[in-house]
Amino acid sequence: MNSTLDGNQSSHAFCLLAFGYLETVHFCLLEVLIIVFLTVLIISGNIIVIFVFHCAPLLNHHTTSYFIQTMAYADLLVGVSCLVPSLSLLHYPLPIEESLTCQVFGFIVSVLKSVSMTSLACISVDRYIAITKPLTYNTLVTPWRLRLCIFLIWLYSTLVFLPSFFHWGKPGYHGDVFRWCAESWHTNPYFTLFIVMMLYAPAALIVCFTYFNIFRICQQHTKEISERQARFSSQSGEPGEVQACPDKRYAMVLFRITSVFYILWLPYIIYFLLESSTGRSNRFASFLTTWLAISNSFCNCVIYSLSNSVFQRGLKRLSGAMCTSCASQVVAKDPYTVRSKGPLNGCHV
């Protein structure tokens, strides 16, 4: 595939951020540092999220936990798949040829991020149904329907990007760390339009519509509650505290996750559209926008840890369980250590 490249060009490392390297460095140092750093953050962060959901039963009371855990598993797989370009940049021999590696890696990451995007849209729909139809919510949203929905999310995401294997064009820039991806695999404006119409546009419109109505309804409920309390306090002579819509706080956490997702993915989508329409590409912009978008796989962990009090308690229980496990191992090794009478499993505290 790389026969068109001259010998001098193929003898050097293919680096999208090729500036400031020493002659003694024979691999893409800056790219490797960025990708490995993001890979470690994504894998470790999402493993923590998955374990916290198992250790905090209250988190599983929300039906959105199905979608949040789906996103966590998808983001974890994104982190694992990022090991592939890291090995390539380090000139580690890959088991299959570069062109197929490039296509498979680009397809997998595109599908996984599509799962996250579609899950965010489904979360917004779930919260919209919970607020607009609270009495019939439990009959409409059942566990088996949620599992079916998650299966359809994975199936739909796979089908959207499957045409990339049939010469429809490049689905994204996730594989541009490979020379073949950057130089021999081009975008197709029609395939780009297909992806936008089937994925990006519907997901964005659903999220905007649902959250706009969620916050409008919550604001209306808060206003009605405050008016009732004002009338009651004027009759009883005791001031009452205004209570906000109970679903608004949780909706705000989900809205922050969705907002950060689209903020980090917007440069990538804009560059994807511009490159597809003009045919001009920039390696630096490609690398920057791609890995900025992929970094979102770690952001969900940070938002949850800062915004969700139940998640924070689950994280404390998980850390307590780990500390207890370490302490029990020390006790097992040292028979003279006084054993604690507390529970050894911090997940069920």
Query: What CATH code is carried by the domain that includes residue 109?
Result: 1.20.1070.10
Q: Is the per-residue pLDDT at 330 higher than 70? A: no
- pLDDT averaged over the chain? 75
Q: Is residue 203 part of a domain?
A: yes
pLDDT over threshold 90, residue 150: yes
Long-range contacts of 20-27 (CB under 8 A, 24+ apart): 26/91, 27/89, 27/90, 27/91
Task: Answer yes or no: are the C-beta atoms of 195 and 273 closer than 8 Å.
Answer: no
pLDDT, greater one: 97 or 4: 97
pLDDT number for residue 22 = 46
112 domain residue, yes or no: yes
Mean pLDDT of the 117-122 span: 90
The verdict on residue 273 lying in a domain is yes
Res 10: pLDDT: 39
Give the pLDDT score at 313: 72
Span 229-245, average pLDDT? 60
pLDDT over threshold 80, residue 346: no
In this prediction, residue 160 carries a pLDDT of 92
Flag whether 300 is in a domain. yes
- The model carries a pTM of 0.76
* Each residue's pLDDT tens digit, 21-42: 444 445 567 777 888 888 899 9
pLDDT of residue 243: 55
Q: What is the mean pLDDT of residues 64-92?
A: 80
Query: Does residue 277 belong to any structural domain of this protein?
Result: yes
* Residue 261 is assigned to a structural domain of this protein: yes
pLDDT the model gives residue 336 = 52
- Asked if 109 and 116 count as a contact pair (C-beta separation under 8 A), the reply is no
236-266 burial string, b = 16+ CB within 10 Å, else e?
eeeeeeeeebebbebbebbbbbbeebbebbe
> Residue 176 in contact with residue 88, Cβ under 8 Å?
no
- First-to-final CA distance of the chain: 58
Do the domain assignments include residue 334?
Answer: no
Instruction: For residue 9, tell me if it sits in a domain.
Output: no
Phi and psi angles of residue 57, each rounded to the nearest 5 degrees, phi first: -60, -30
Tokens of 347: 């997940």
The tokens for 149 are 């929905």
Domain that holds residue 177: 23-227+246-315
Number of domains the chain contains: 1
Give the whole-angstrom CA distance, residue 299 versus residue 286: 21
- Whether residue 198 is predicted with pLDDT greater than 70 in this model: the reply is yes
